[in-house]
Chains A and B, each alone.
Chain A
Amino acid sequence: MKGWKHVIAITSLVVSTSVLALATAIGGLGYILPTPGVRDLAYWYLVTVLSPSNKLFTAMSPEAVTSIVWDYRGLDTLFETSVFFLAIIGSIALMRGIKIVPERLRNYSSGMSPIVKTVTRITAGMIIAVAASIALHGHLTPGGGFQGGATAAVAPLLLMVVFSIYFIIKSGITEERMLALRTAGLVGIVFTAFSACIIAASLGTQAYVFQNQPKSTAAVGLPASIMGSLTSGTLIFFNLFEFFAVAAGFTIVFLLLSIPENIVKQALRGVESEH
């Protein structure tokens, strides 16, 4: 009986995949490819993204995705980051007043075996290094601040599982510090967005918000390269600050999720009995 179920399941999977493939191949779902007119848009971005002669549109970065995210549609990304920030604030508000019990901080010697702990010590450093390279090369190669930050947040998560949550708290990765780092990251992003304006104001001219390279109508901007290496103006700063903001944000969520349920219940009951 069990064998028949397997046969029916596998046969139906194979048949449905083949039917869908055949229908797609003979055009049963209509013309799925976009019209050739759309390709001009992609071509335009790829051509203008690193062209020093085209002063009006260039972002001075070979990486089209990061340029679009932080330069061409930078304001949109700022609000995306703000939405993520508000989500973190919401989760902190939900868990307010619930602390990981400090008297248990001494007893953090639990966790996995010494072999796993040693390997995790090595790999946690490697993860941070890879994350930093993803974020700081975000304007040169695929990647960026968000991707780098999400990668970096794996390191505290790994330490949390392998050592213990008390080890993390004791080594200084607390909720308050992560929130401070997250806020500093967001302040940095806003400051970078206004940086061209600030430079222009100090020189007595005017510039746009979210301006990266000098334009013909606003002749100030951030340098495209520092000491001979390409930094793409504001892009490297946006990636750096976003890296800290996202890494700290994810770490806060992991810290909150790792609070044992009985502690949460205890805190809620304590509030009730006070009244």
Chain B
Amino acid sequence: MEESMINLALVGLGEIMVAVGVISDLIAALGMLRFPNFFVRLHAATVGTIWGAFLPLVGASLIAAGSEFLGQYRWFMSGGAIVTAILILILAPAGSHALARAAYRSKSAEVRPKSVDHLREFLKKEGGEESA
């Protein structure tokens, strides 16, 4: 009885996470289409990777862990989903960081809605050769 309650809670939590992921993916797609320039679109893309890919994968692993009818294999599915989620959590920020850095340094994208640019000030202080 208690075990089935835990399973139900796991599946319910996982389904909520997948639902949040679906909504986040929709928002991210809208942002990619409607946002004006590179850096703001990158923000929308990272919403899609963390809230729209990492969170649903954790949810999928919870659903698999709570689905007893899958037998022993549910732990393989659950573990695979968790490992993939952690990989995305490590790799996606590094990728978007590299993209943003390259776009900023090569001056190929304008930093448009900005109030302050600490990086520009830092690079000026470091010396001209770094920002060239």
Contact = CB atoms under 8 A, between A and B. Distances in A.
B97 A123 contact: no
B91 interface: yes
B33 interface: no
B90 A113 contact: no
Contacts of B111: none
Contact of B98 (A113, A122, A126): A113
B91 A113 contact: no
Please report whether the interface of chain A is mostly helix, strand, loop or mixed according to DSSP: helix
Task: Categorize the interface residue count of chain A.
Answer: under 10
A46 interface: no
B101 interface: yes
B9 interface: no
A15 to B, nearest CB: 25
Nearest to A126: B87
A15 B110 CA distance: 40
A257 interface: no
Interface in B23-67: none
A123 B91 contact: yes
B70 interface: no
Interface in A58-116: 112-113, 115-116
A119 B98 CA distance: 11
B90 A116 contact: no
B109 interface: no
A126 B101 CA distance: 25
Given A116-B94, A119-B91, 13 more contacts: A112-B101, A113-B98, A113-B101, A115-B94, A115-B98, A116-B97, A119-B90, A119-B94, A120-B94, A122-B90, A123-B90, A123-B91, A126-B87
